[in-house]
Structure 1
Amino acid sequence: QTYKFRLYPNKKQEEQLLWTLEKCRLVYNDMLAGLNKEEKPNRLKLQSMLPELKKQYPELKGVYSKVLQYEVYKLFSNLKGLGELKKKGRKVGRLRFKGKGWFKTFTYNQSGFKLIDTNKRLKSLHLSKIGDNISIRVHRKIDGNIKQITIKKHCSGKWYANMVTERNNKKHDKKISSVIGIDKGIKYFLTDTEGRRIENSQFLKNSLKKLRREQRRLSRKKKKSSNYNKQRIKVARVHEQITNHRIDFLHKLSRSYIDNYDMIAVENLNIKNLVRNHHLARSISDVSWSAFDNMLSYKAENANKTVVRVDPKGTSQEYKYGRDLDRDYNASLNILERGLASLPQGLRKVTPVEIEPLQKLETISASLIIETGSLFQNHK
């Protein structure tokens, strides 16, 4: 499981974080240069070159060794991804060198970090070779042991720590009694089998006017000037605000379904193919179906719940419950039926024939979910 917490480094700590980013960029670019010369790149061979690289650049000794080793791992992961795309017939180029300011993350893997409880609102994070007492706002309980921390500088200038934890989840077969089917859409973010339609709040569309205004102001500034950098941060903060509002909504909505149902059936949509429709691409990206599905999946795994993905083909065209039903609601019923049919008989208490369609649907605004923190706060 991954947790994202904001860091509040002081001026000296921020200088050290930025310095570490630059040294990681140096290693990445140097290794990439060696990689492009190799006919058959070997990760272990390049990693063994790190000691020589430290002799060439003595300042690298000021960076924790596993941080540098992880840059080699990232480089080969990127290369592996390109290789897989090439096997699928996609046209791929070469990995690019990272210019100054384009390197945003570095990672402590397994060791070199420690979270210190200060009994205050802000805790302290120790990062080897960077320093102690980096203030961090841990706004939620961390379950499991922290195995990895990635430090990231956002375009808005803010710093974050992404922590990956390992938990021993004891899974057991649970009788499924409460089930629901979900159909995703553009006009309504989703429609479920209990007659709820969640309005699409269109976070990007609602902020587009402000975003375009800030981008126009940026275009009038001289590049690389002080005013240009200040305005660039303003644009980045608008983007960050849009993302934060969207993620907040998706977290609260997905948590509502996980807490109240044993099994959730959703469509297995191919988002990449859908966004090729240029008329709908922006709207599809704005609703973030993939992010919602991912949240459902990992939250269900942690809560010992079940998420079933079904074939979306024909879910809106099959009218088993009468043609008078709302199109999206009808699709959600078909999705639930397919989801139940895919479960082992011994796990389910509910069968497809027990589904009874509703004639009246309830529309719920996204803003209400954000304000109350739950879909069921006032609708149960």
Structure 2
Amino acid sequence: MRITYKFRLYPSKEQEQKLLEVLEKCRFVYNKLLEKLEQDKPSRLELQNSIPKLKEEHQELKEVYSKVLQYESYRLFSNLRALARLKKNGRKVGRLRFKGKSWFKTIHFNQSGFKLIKTGKRCERLHLSKIGDIKIRIHRKIKGKIKQVIIKRYSSGKWYACIQVENNVQAENAKNKLIEKKVGIDVGIKHFLTDSDGLQIENPKYLDKSYKRLRIEHRKLSRKEKESKNREKQRIRLSIVYERVVNQRLDFLHKLSRYYVDNYDFIAVEELDIKNMVRSYLAKWISDVSWNRFIQFLSYKAENAGKIVVKVNPRGTSKEYKFGKLDKDYNASLNILVRGLDKVGMGQAEFTPLETEPLPVRASSVVELGSSFR
């Protein structure tokens, strides 16, 4: 099983300059490979074998670890496969474009070219071939054999290492486990979710809370002269605000999904078509609430823990009143649970709907207390 850990990097000015140079050289190789692909139509193997010749023509490419440059061939064909899938699904697609300056944000070290060095201090060291030993904050234990390290630069200027490991520990088999606790979850905009046990989590609305600050930073950016140093500084300030919103949202989703995986054996959720939903006037709020990301987190954590997550058709869940006159969202969560159990052939759940209103829980409680907020 593959697991990815994300840790903050603290490169020195010299190391950061090297990282930026590697990103630029990767962009150069990608564009050269795309040019060759359009002209000669080579196979993937032929294209990858052309990289050594490219290094002979441009000696500065020898300063980059070989497997980092080889990955650009994989990236190119991966992008082509993505376009083919979109076209197959009926989407109108164009062609791959040459990448402009600052487009590349990631450096891939696959299988080799990296090493974690323990120092016993607050920050360990991550050795990257032809770059050096960079400070890295390991805030959690890495379990498994490291297979790949992806160095990522964010728009705010921060650097992170995404470490992918192969974990020999197999996920528990959900089929062999006794299913005792079951829950149905209905998601919404006013309330992030309402479950069949009567728990109702408010929508944190992180984007709305930062809206005033974002307007100010956007206004400042629009007044800066293009391509000036002051404009670049302001762009970073704006990126920091956006990054904070994303981090708040991810923290909330991780803690909430962890709560349900820790406390339930069977979880039924709606199978939502987010792409069509964001075409409505509610697009801004739907994108901010991130239901799909929550369900993704719920699914992979449940798989690792040997729990069951079932997706059901959301059509009509709020309109079917099988349990009497109840809160609309609470009623929907009960219907989702029933549909989920029917889908896996477990029959209807034996439960008595709450006679009281659902229990509201503030989003801040989820963040502060984690999976023990209830």
Which bin holds the TM-score, normalised by the shorter protein?
A: over 0.9
* Structure 2 contact 116–124 (Cα < 8 Å) conserved: yes
Corresponding residue number in structure 1 for 2:288:
286
Within a 5 Å distance, the mapping from 1:10-49 to structure 2 comes to 10-39=12-41, 41-49=42-50
Q: For 1:353 and 1:178, how far apart are their aligned partners in 2? A: 10
Within a 5 Å distance, the mapping from 1:256-267 to structure 2 comes to 256-267=259-270
The alpha-carbon deviation at position 87 of structure 1 amounts to: 2.1
The alpha-carbon deviation at position 181 of structure 1 amounts to: 0.7
The alpha-carbon deviation at position 189 of structure 1 amounts to: 0.3
* Structure 2 contact 152–160 (Cα < 8 Å) conserved: yes
| Counterpart residue type for residue 217 of structure 1 | K
Corresponding residue number in structure 2 for 1:166:
166
Q: For 2:349 and 2:19, how far apart are their aligned partners in 1? A: 60
Corresponding residue number in structure 2 for 1:348:
none
Choose from 356, 360, 364 the match for 2:352: 356
* Structure 2 contact 224–230 (Cα < 8 Å) conserved: yes
Q: For 1:207 and 1:115, how far apart are their aligned partners in 2? A: 37
Could you say what secondary structure the match of 2:337 adopts? Answer: helix
Q: Do structure 1's residue 336 and structure 2's residue 337 form an aligned pair?
A: yes
Moved more, 138-147 or 24-33: 138-147
Q: For 1:200 and 1:171, how far apart are their aligned partners in 2? A: 32
Q: For 1:333 and 1:305, how far apart are their aligned partners in 2? A: 19
Corresponding residue number in structure 2 for 1:8:
10
| Counterpart residue type for residue 259 of structure 1 | D
Q: For 1:250 and 1:226, how far apart are their aligned partners in 2? A: 36
Q: For 2:68 and 2:361, how far apart are their aligned partners in 1? A: 47
Aligned residues: percent identity? 60
Q: Do structure 1's residue 302 and structure 2's residue 304 form an aligned pair?
A: yes
Q: For 1:290 and 1:147, how far apart are their aligned partners in 2? A: 28
Q: For 1:110 and 1:297, how far apart are their aligned partners in 2? A: 28
Choose from 242, 245, 249 the match for 2:248: 245
Corresponding residue number in structure 1 for 2:212:
209
Structure 1 runs (4+) greater than 3 angstroms displaced: none
The alpha-carbon deviation at position 143 of structure 1 amounts to: 2.1
Structure 2, unaligned stretches of length 5 or more? none
The alpha-carbon deviation at position 170 of structure 1 amounts to: 4.5
| Per-residue CA distance 1:265-294 (angstroms, 9 max, x = gap) | 1101010010011x1000000000111111
| Per-residue CA distance 1:121-180 (angstroms, 9 max, x = gap) | 211101111112x11111112222221111111000000111122223153321211111
Q: For 2:352 and 2:140, how far apart are their aligned partners in 1? A: 40
Q: For 1:89 and 1:298, how far apart are their aligned partners in 2? A: 29
* Structure 2 contact 107–152 (Cα < 8 Å) conserved: yes
Corresponding residue number in structure 1 for 2:90:
89
Choose from 273, 278, 292 the match for 2:276: 273
* Structure 2 contact 341–349 (Cα < 8 Å) conserved: no
Task: Tell me the TM-score normalised to structure 2 length.
Answer: 0.96
Task: Tell me the TM-score normalised to structure 1 length.
Answer: 0.94
| Per-residue CA distance 1:36-69 (angstroms, 9 max, x = gap) | 2244x52111001011001111111111111111
| Counterpart residue type for residue 113 of structure 2 | G
RMSD: 1.3
Choose from 313, 316, 321 the match for 1:314: 316
| Per-residue CA distance 1:282-340 (angstroms, 9 max, x = gap) | 00000001111111111111111111111111111111111x10111111001111111
Q: For 1:356 and 1:32, how far apart are their aligned partners in 2? A: 62
Corresponding residue number in structure 1 for 2:113:
112
Q: For 1:75 and 1:144, how far apart are their aligned partners in 2? A: 29
* Structure 2 contact 171–305 (Cα < 8 Å) conserved: no
Q: For 1:327 and 1:33, how far apart are their aligned partners in 2? A: 57
Moved more, 140-149 or 256-265: 140-149
Count of aligned pairs between the two proteins: 368
Q: For 2:34 and 2:85, how far apart are their aligned partners in 1? A: 18
Structure 1, unaligned stretches of length 5 or more? 346-350
Within a 5 Å distance, the mapping from 1:64-213 to structure 2 comes to 64-132=65-133, 134-168=134-168, 169-172=170-173, 173-213=176-216
Q: Do structure 1's residue 223 and structure 2's residue 223 form an aligned pair?
A: no
Could you say what secondary structure the match of 1:86 adopts? Answer: helix
* Structure 2 contact 172–305 (Cα < 8 Å) conserved: no
